[in-house]
């Protein structure tokens, strides 16, 4: 079986608007499922906010506190305003990553598609640019200028800094996409090993146990990676926001 088959986009409901193909695909379906899961998590968790939280509320608060303290550490007191945005990005990436690991149900991982991750990265990048120019105007360009440098060296560093700034959404997107894709390919490869080795006629199933055990361990690792990559995405987003808010 082709391990890349799992990334195939299937059009569930072909649609087009203004010459653009906007079909409802399996990717969109799993984004919608992620959205529904987040909606349940959020609305149940905050249905009746109590001073002494119940389990759901404590769970939502835990995630919110995690994002808020991350922003507080990296951006400072100003960062709290952007908590909903970073929270939304973090939750979306996290839930898409985690849902993609569900076995049996034919789960699709939207974050294993560079289109989705670059879309998310450009949301962050756009917000960073807008915040930067709104707060500092053209002074925002001083972000790229090294302090106390002579003109020649300064120009040189300026070019590098601008390039690195412009490459941020791409590195952000490719990091997440590559991690997700690699993990799912690995899982699929070992899954095919289970089938291939387990079908030996002499001793049925025995040889398939080893790759199955590896797959169990890999699933645990992929769970970790799913959480860590969502964290990394949100962390980098808050670091970029810090540049826009504080200009170093």
Partner 1 sequence: MPQFDFTNVFWPQLFWLALFFIVLYFGIVRLTLPRLGKVMDERAAKIDGDLEAARAAKESADELTERYRAELEKSRDEARSNIAAAKAEAAKASEVRLARADAESAAQIEAAEARIADASAKAHGSLRGVAVEGAQAIVAKLTGSEPSADAVSSAVDAAMAR
Q: Are 87 and 97 in contact (CB under 8 A)?
A: no
Instruction: Give the residue, chosen from 97, 113, 121, 172, that forms a contact with partner 1 under the rule CB under 8 A.
Output: 113
Which of 111, 3, 30, 71 is closest to 244 using CA atoms? 71
**The one segment of 69-77, 83-91, 128-136, 202-210 that binds partner 1 by CB under 8 A:** 83-91
Which residues, numbered 55-74, are part of the site for partner 1 (CB under 8 A)? 57, 60-61, 64-65
**The one segment of 2-10, 129-137, 143-151, 239-247 that binds partner 1 by CB under 8 A:** 2-10
Give least dist CB 221 to partner 1, A: 22
Closer to partner 1 by Cβ: residue 61 or 78:
61
Closer to partner 1 by Cβ: residue 12 or 196:
12
- Cα separation, 192 vs 203, in Å, equals 18
User: Residue 211, interface with partner 1 (CB under 8 A)?
Assistant: no
DSSP state of 145: S
Closer to partner 1 by Cβ: residue 97 or 181:
181
User: Residue 92, interface with partner 1 (CB under 8 A)?
Assistant: yes
Unique residue bearing structure tokens 């020649």: 152
Q: In the numeric block, which tokens belong to residue 91?
A: 């939750």
User: Residue 171, interface with partner 1 (CB under 8 A)?
Assistant: no
Instruction: Give the residue, chosen from 75, 120, 128, 212, that forms a contact with partner 1 under the rule CB under 8 A.
Output: 120
Closer to partner 1 by Cβ: residue 4 or 224:
4
User: Residue 124, interface with partner 1 (CB under 8 A)?
Assistant: no
DSSP output for 170-207:
HHHHHHHHHHHHHHHHHHHHHHHHHHHHHT-SSSTTTT
C-alpha 95: how far from chain center: 9
Which of 247, 248, 237 is closest to 136 using CA atoms? 247
- Cα separation, 106 vs 184, in Å, equals 12
215: left (phi over 0), alpha (psi -120 to 50) or beta: alpha
Instruction: Give the residue, chosen from 71, 75, 91, 98, that forms a contact with partner 1 under the rule CB under 8 A.
Output: 91
User: Residue 51, interface with partner 1 (CB under 8 A)?
Assistant: yes
- Determine the size of the site formed for partner 1 (CB under 8 A): 51
Name the H helices within the chain.
Answer: 26-45, 55-74, 83-99, 114-136, 151-198, 209-246
Count of positions (residues) in the chain: 248
Instruction: Give the residue, chosen from 84, 103, 106, 204, that forms a contact with partner 1 under the rule CB under 8 A.
Output: 84
Residues that bind partner 1 (CB under 8 A): 4, 7-9, 11, 17, 20-25, 27-28, 31-32, 34-35, 38-39, 42-43, 45-46, 49-51, 53, 57, 60-61, 64-65, 83-85, 87-88, 91-92, 110, 112-116, 119-120, 123, 177, 181
């Amino acid at each position: 079986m082709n391990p890349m088959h799992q990334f195939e986009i299937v059009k569930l409901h072909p649609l087009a608007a203004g010459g653009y193909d906007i079909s409802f695909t399996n990717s969109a379906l799993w984004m919608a499922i992620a959205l529904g899961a987040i909606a349940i998590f959020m609305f149940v968790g905050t249905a009746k906010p109590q001073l002494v939280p119940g389990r759901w509320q404590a769970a939502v608060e835990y995630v919110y506190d995690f994002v808020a303290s991350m922003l507080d550490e990296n951006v400072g007191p100003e960062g709290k305003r952007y908590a909903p945005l970073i929270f939304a990005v973090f939750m979306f990436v996290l839930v898409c990553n985690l849902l993609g690991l569900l076995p049996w149900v034919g789960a699709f991982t939207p974050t294993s598609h560079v289109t989705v991750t670059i879309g998310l990265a450009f949301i962050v990048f756009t917000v960073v640019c807008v915040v930067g120019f709104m707060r500092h105007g053209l002074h925002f360009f001083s972000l790229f200028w090294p302090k106390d440098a002579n003109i020649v060296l300064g120009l040189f560093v300026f070019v590098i800094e601008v390039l690195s700034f412009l490459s941020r959404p791409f590195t952000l997107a490719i990091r997440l996409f590559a991690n997700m894709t690699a993990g799912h390919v690995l899982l699929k490869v070992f899954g095919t090993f289970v089938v291939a080795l387990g079908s030996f006629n002499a001793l049925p199933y025995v040889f398939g146990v080893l790759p199955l055990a590896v797959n169990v361990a890999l699933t645990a690792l992929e769970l970790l990676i799913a959480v860590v990559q969502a964290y990394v995405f949100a962390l980098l987003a808050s670091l970029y926001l810090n540049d826009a808010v504080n200009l170093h």
